[in-house]
Amino acid sequence: MSDVRNREAIEAAARAAKYEWGFTSAVEQEFAPKGLNEDVVRFISAKKNEPEWMLDWRLKAYRAWLEMEEVTWAKLNIPPIDFQDAYYYAAPKAKPKLSSLDELDPEIRRTYEKLGIPIEEQKVLAGVEGAKKVAVDAVFDSVSVATTFREELKAAGVIFLSISEAIREHPELVRKYLGSVVPQRDNFYACLNSAVFSDGTFVYVPEGVRCPMELSTYFRINAENTGQFERTLIIADKGSYVSYLEGCTAPQRDENQLHAAVVELYAHEDAEIKYSTVQNWYPGDEQGRGGIYNFVTKRALCAGARSKVSWTQVETGSAITWKYPSCILKGEESVGEFYSVALTNNFQQADTGTKMIHLGSRSRSTIVSKGISAGKSNNTYRGLVRVLGNAEGVRNFTQCDSLLLGDQCGAHTVPYIEVRNPTAQIEHEATTSKISDDQLFYAMSRGLSQEDAVALIVNGFAREVLQQLPMEFAVEAQKLLGISLEGSVG
Amino acid sequence: MLKIDNLHAAVDGKPILKGISLAINAGEIHAIMGPNGSGKSTLAYVLAGRPGYEVTEGSVTFEGRDLLALEPHERAALGIFLGFQYPVEIPGVSTAQFLRTALNAQRSARGEAELSAGDFLRLARAQADALALPQEMMKRAVNVGFSGGEKKRGEMVQMGLLDPALAILDETDSGLDIDALRVVGEGINRIMRKPDKAVLLITHYQRLLDIVEPDFVHVLAGGRIVRSGGAELARELEREGYAELVA
């Protein structure tokens, strides 16, 4: 990774915000040395007080990773990444401490306001000193609500912890399921993550339990600064249900350029997992400088009969997105769903989609992908529907729509369909359209500014996906689509 | 209210309007008639501010303000409404959401408070009822899957909700059967026939003017107003055609 560029950016940001970087020597020791080797993996594991088996698991991944190669099949132009020129533990990730919101980059501040984020919450997002407690109040009404929330989950038997905590407190569960959906050697980035994952989320919902609330990283203690190599593991036992929200609509900056997360979902018989993501990492500037590389492996195993997993994602951030939330539909009559909005502007690149692997008879899948391209960006849907020979009566419906703004962007659809059983019914629909001048003028003649008109039309285009999101999230996501397209027309 | 002075306009460099002058006062309904290609729709688009319709000479003021300096949405907020000959489809956006967003954008541009969802729905229901459109239409995507008649009645629902000072109606009667024509015509009278409002009605046919009686009729030909008169001029045109005027 181009750490030099990162350093420069950090220093520039530091100068601009006029804050003291302020790492004390004590903090300095929390860093693993730059680069990646077995000692660094051991250091990470030791820092987290991990048991021996966890260290062994990481080391095995590290050794496998050394023999693997980066992914090159995506329609992405990825600059070479020097994996030895990066920090893998406690990289300088403390957000700059601001003493008030006035010190925040006015552009970010403006975006917060447009999103309608309450002032106190803005302070937390911006890292204003001393804001945390107040903001917890603001978000949850009071600290006690957060406490009530944890107690309620406990009463229901739901385990909701950081993955580091779970490794210590529920080693038998983590050991059983970690890597069971995404094997270490699955791909280059997943393997790297397996060796060096920083932190992430663990959820276990016991048999027959309907999780009493939407789970969100937002609620999780220690949720901050786990972005770089995040690891998430969600297990829904027989007949249980859980809905999980990941991410945040507020623009998130991070000095780590490479993000390689792994998410594993495991659904037992009759269980259902709904996983929603809003991703708004820093996309780089209008000239395409900077921005996060988001290389994510997300996969669900619908292991039991009639199990169901639904992925919903709204992807507006990151300079490069490489992400295919997938379902292995092993259980009979299991159901996989993928609803996606991917928006790219300026020089952003996204290659995203899904894989639906039908192993179980009468398993069904639905794919709805909405790609929006603006500026000089490139947006690719890449999807695989595979039906194995002994899976009878499988059904799939796929709809891929692309919307273009302007004439310098690209939209690409790459569907792979592999069917080895003649009883399968597979449908694929695809459209490509542009926002027409007629639509823009019609909306403007009714009183909408050009930006609002674009936002309205784009939201209409993405509606089928947005309505899959939990209500509060959907409202924010709608605003986000509009903001992400500002200045892209006219 | 509206003052057009020696207006010249071009599309793709081709002159279409060649010196139009027209004054419309509050309380008046003006009909513009004329053969195809005479510049009627161009005039409507220029007044509403459509991009690509370039004004090359002349001026337009609305309530004393230079209209040509304003963006389309700013003109809308001032109280100008364009009824489209071919209303545009916006998939995925419900009619209710579209209109509420538009109305509140106009209100906030004028420094007025935004309408709540409840207040808006009450207003919208009343307008839909008055135009004999089912309430359910509000939930459907803007103009998507609407019949020709529904689209035109939908335009009148929008006009009723937005409550403009000046309505420019571009062939609102085209594609309507006799019953729908009556509903739409009565809608225009109900919403716009008021002392503080005015209408510029673009039409080919006398039948709409039988319902919405104009105070003035202008004949547009070759980008100029070639004749003006009262309601009787329209009846004369209906009998004798444009041939003599255009020649």
The model's pLDDT over A74-127, given as tens digits with 9 standing for 90+, comes to 888 888 888 888 777 754 344 455 667 677 666 666 666 666 665 655 665 565
pLDDT of A365 over the 90 cut: yes
Structure letter (DSSP) for residue B158: H
Say whether residue A461 is in contact with chain B using an 8 A CB cutoff. yes
Does the beta-carbon distance from A459 to B72 stay under 8 Å?
Answer: no
Q: Calculate helix-pair angle for B117-130, B95-109, nearest 10 degrees.
A: 110
pLDDT (tens digit per residue) in B220-240: 999 999 999 999 998 888 888
pLDDT of B43 over the 80 cut: yes
CA of B9, closest CA in chain A: separation in Å?
A: 18
Spatial distance between the Cα atoms of A106 and A114, rounded to a whole number of angstroms:
12
Query: What is the pLDDT, as a whole number, of residue A471?
Result: 78
Spatial distance between the Cα atoms of B136 and B128, rounded to a whole number of angstroms:
9
pLDDT (tens digit per residue) in A154-178: 899 999 888 888 999 999 999 999 9
CA of A91, closest CA in chain B: separation in Å?
A: 44
- State whether A204 and A115 are in the same domain: no
Query: What is the pLDDT, as a whole number, of residue A5?
Result: 44
- Across A315-344, b (16+ Cβ under 10 Å) vs e yields bbbbbbbbbbbbbbbbbbbbbbbbbbbbbb
pLDDT of A189 over the 90 cut: yes
Say whether residue B82 is in contact with chain A using an 8 A CB cutoff. yes
Q: Identify residue B35 by its one-letter amino acid code.
A: P
Pair A460, A401: CB distance under 8 Å = no
Q: Which residue of B has its CA nearest to A449?
A: B73
Query: What is the pLDDT, as a whole number, of residue A463?
Result: 93
- State whether A145 and A128 are in the same domain: no
Has residue A482 been placed in a domain?
Answer: no
pLDDT of B67 over the 80 cut: yes
The candidate with the shortest Cα–Cα distance to A385, out of A345, A422, A354, is A354
Has residue A99 been placed in a domain?
Answer: yes
Where does a domain end: A106, A132, A158? A132
Higher pLDDT, A228 or B219: B219
Q: Which residue of A has its CA nearest to B107?
A: A447
CA A303 to chain centre: 23
Strand partners, A299: A264, A326
Say whether residue A450 is in contact with chain B using an 8 A CB cutoff. yes
Has residue A68 been placed in a domain?
Answer: no
Has residue A443 been placed in a domain?
Answer: no
- State whether A146 and A124 are in the same domain: no
**Structural domains counted in chain A:** 2
Has residue A485 been placed in a domain?
Answer: no
* Secondary structure class of A270 (helix, strand, coil): coil
| Domains contained in chain B, CATH given | 2-246 (3.40.50.300)
Higher pLDDT, A148 or A427: A427
- State whether A37 and A149 are in the same domain: no
Does the beta-carbon distance from B98 to A456 stay under 8 Å?
Answer: yes
Does the beta-carbon distance from B52 to A444 stay under 8 Å?
Answer: no
The candidate with the shortest Cα–Cα distance to A170, out of A346, A17, A51, is A51
Pair A184, A60: CB distance under 8 Å = yes
- State whether A117 and A149 are in the same domain: no
Has residue A235 been placed in a domain?
Answer: yes
Chain A residue numbers with beta carbons less than 8 Å from the beta carbon of B102 are 443, 446-448
Chain A residue numbers with beta carbons less than 8 Å from the beta carbon of B158 are 446
* Cβ contacts from A onto B, under 8 A: 82
End-to-end CA distance of chain A: 36
Say whether residue A52 is in contact with chain B using an 8 A CB cutoff. no
Does the beta-carbon distance from A442 to B103 stay under 8 Å?
Answer: no
Q: Which residue of B has its CA nearest to A443?
A: B102
Report CA-CA distances (Å) from A468 to A234, A373, A402, A464. Answer: 20, 21, 19, 7
Does the beta-carbon distance from B102 to A447 stay under 8 Å?
Answer: yes
- State whether A89 and A223 are in the same domain: no
Say whether residue A459 is in contact with chain B using an 8 A CB cutoff. yes
Q: How confident is the model at residue A477 (pLDDT cuts 50, 70, 90)?
A: confident
Query: What is the pLDDT, as a whole number, of residue A340?
Result: 96
Spatial distance between the Cα atoms of A484 and A451, rounded to a whole number of angstroms:
10
Has residue A345 been placed in a domain?
Answer: yes
* Secondary structure class of A260 (helix, strand, coil): coil
Q: Which residue of B has its CA nearest to A462?
A: B92
- State whether A112 and A40 are in the same domain: yes
Q: Which residue of A has its CA nearest to B51?
A: A441
Chain A residue numbers with beta carbons less than 8 Å from the beta carbon of B75 are 445
Has residue A212 been placed in a domain?
Answer: yes
* Secondary structure class of A432 (helix, strand, coil): strand
User: Which of A447, A462, A464 is opposite residue B76, by nearest beta carbon?
Assistant: A447
The least confident of A278-292, A382-396, B106-120, B181-195 is A278-292
Does the beta-carbon distance from A444 to B93 stay under 8 Å?
Answer: no
Query: What is the pLDDT, as a whole number, of residue A82?
Result: 85
- State whether A22 and A147 are in the same domain: no
Mean pLDDT score, B37-66? 96
Say whether residue A444 is in contact with chain B using an 8 A CB cutoff. yes
End-to-end CA distance of chain B: 33
CA of A164, closest CA in chain B: separation in Å?
A: 43
Does the beta-carbon distance from B76 to A463 stay under 8 Å?
Answer: no
pLDDT of A433 over the 80 cut: yes
> Domain span at residue A30?
3-59+82-132
Say whether residue A368 is in contact with chain B using an 8 A CB cutoff. no
- State whether A207 and A223 are in the same domain: yes
Q: How confident is the model at residue A219 (pLDDT cuts 50, 70, 90)?
A: very low
Query: What is the pLDDT, as a whole number, of residue A227?
Result: 52
Chain B residue numbers with beta carbons less than 8 Å from the beta carbon of A439 are 88-90
Strands B2-11 vs A272-279: parallel, antiparallel or unpaired = unpaired
Say whether residue B26 is in contact with chain A using an 8 A CB cutoff. no
Pair B143, B153: CB distance under 8 Å = no
Chain A residue numbers with beta carbons less than 8 Å from the beta carbon of B81 are 445
Spatial distance between the Cα atoms of A198 and A35, rounded to a whole number of angstroms:
15
ipTM > 0.85? Answer: yes
- State whether A103 and A162 are in the same domain: no
- State whether A111 and A185 are in the same domain: no
CB atoms within 10 A of CB A243: 18
Helices (H), A157-206: 163-169, 171-177, 188-196
pLDDT of B91 over the 80 cut: yes
CA of A446, closest CA in chain B: separation in Å?
A: 6
- State whether A128 and A144 are in the same domain: no
